[in-house]
Structure 1
């Protein structure tokens, strides 16, 4: 991806010995619920989260059941969002306006140094301070390892973000030019990679230009335009094919789609056991079989295909829950539906509707949208049932749209969920 860091970020090597790492849950943000509820691949009993899984994760009802089963849960966040009500401990965090640090525009990799605009509120802390304090608390209570096992890995000095950032820059060659001092002195941000103080920052990743080749050398690929063994774009190699085959994939793609896509299409099936994820070997994953004959049986009761997403570019489901602008733009859930489809189900434009999938149902307001496919509807995420600013505008408190989404057929390499595909039906409320 154009905005994905092509290397790694490094801190100083640990000076203490650490136990061998066990393989983690399948990658992606949502498999934790499966582990809590079933114990596969191992039981998860305690959780600390950043964010709000009861809005962002697929299959909200399943996630809610998982939160109820946890032995211990710590919520870190700005507001009393849905997940906070299940917490044993709530740790308030600071907002971006209260922090010194780096800020990145996701669309073009541009980073600038920003200074806190307002003081912190109450006892709130940035995320990194919470983790440093947690490590030091473990160090005071650990009876098997010396305190330094924890404290040396998370020094108190890193609570000063300037010092933490300086360590990243010092130990990550491709970031060598992105010092706080340089960013502070610039009117325009810097684009990473940026390996030296004289480097202008890479405008376009993998561009045939000296600025990229200097960055590639810092990333451990001197003289290469692309960070592959051959230095070329690699679509197929025997090595890549063997690597992916262990998970059920091949280097050359096989067409398949989600089983809830309308029509009987080739689909996917999961093997019961786990294998090492070839793309993320620190984690396990399910092996899959691709091209399995599909069935349209689910569409007998749920004849349409739905997808979820942001209602507007300003909405990311956290801070925008609590801003008047976000509320005005996204406060009403407008369910996009083709006029012919709506009339087929007796629905008028701006009618209150219920959208139901095999996993749950949500409400919204029908918005006739001639450009959408007649077999498809769009359900925006909008806000969750714990939001409060909408009350001032008279907006409804909606159910989480991701309660409609299936979590069982995630992409076994990336962990991505099928937020853009679920069988559903729509009716007038």
Structure 2
């Protein structure tokens, strides 16, 4: 079977036949439904199903991917194979083409209902930089960091679709020379460029998900911006972890790239020393060669290398469920800030400005932390089968003044 699509725009832009990411879209006067990106179009799966071209109308005539994600890997594989057939065999063109809608004519919504949200801390470069900033007289990494994927449990109710404006949060903050905190808008608002994966198939209570079962439970990957108020975080994270400094907003991209689309992007992750405990060992290489870019007001601020992440996605899932926590459809797991060895690789302003001491300069624009009106965009691509690029799309948000 040919791997070239009869959709003319499919060869360019990263949304080709090797990608086929899922999302939820709407048109004026119509209910939301599930679609797949192909070139500069979205393929209406609810319409295809109604015409008998694909199975699963109950999955696709919906404002959420959750029902399809819960259907499991055989259903995901069968639908992907069928879409490839429909989009590469010109004999189907006359029936399929009426269900292709220009992307410019639709609104892209949050692709799935988030059950729970976990944010990891899996970049050694990021963790070491933070350690050097805040604990200069101690080891940069805490003793547990290379033994387990560190994480915090976030707030599912404030995971927003790309394009949602982000109001500057308020909370308690204390300057270094002040004895008492004050309440007010964050003065050190930051972004965190991350990659997330979403669970489709649940797991039972009391049974963890081993690393080898990752493909059986995980539906796909999204881009994540875990907005962070650094001044609130510094004050409230003693001794426990982030709370108000993180819970106000997390943004995700509109397209969920299936795990199957990223097989060609898998690479060896960094060597892990000491060797992880048995439940964290992986028989396959699960580093992902994702090329990320962060833009502030259209200017490229960083290019974080996801392949440099110390802990991999299967290890994160195995650890998150190792205590018997059941996995639910829609559980979102984010990687933590993606960073690398060079300054241009740092995936947040905390690192890029070294906690405000070294302002970042971009074509005449200077930033230590985000200002009202700033728009942050995170985008990424990956190598696909046969050398074609796979786009993960982008996630963006604009900072609004505090509403409090």
> In which range does the TM-score fall when normalised by the shorter chain?
under 0.3
Higher strand share: 2
Higher relative contact order (CA 8 A, sep 6+): 2
Q: What is the TM-score normalised by the length of structure 1?
A: 0.25
With the length of structure 2 as denominator, give the TM-score of the two structures. 0.26
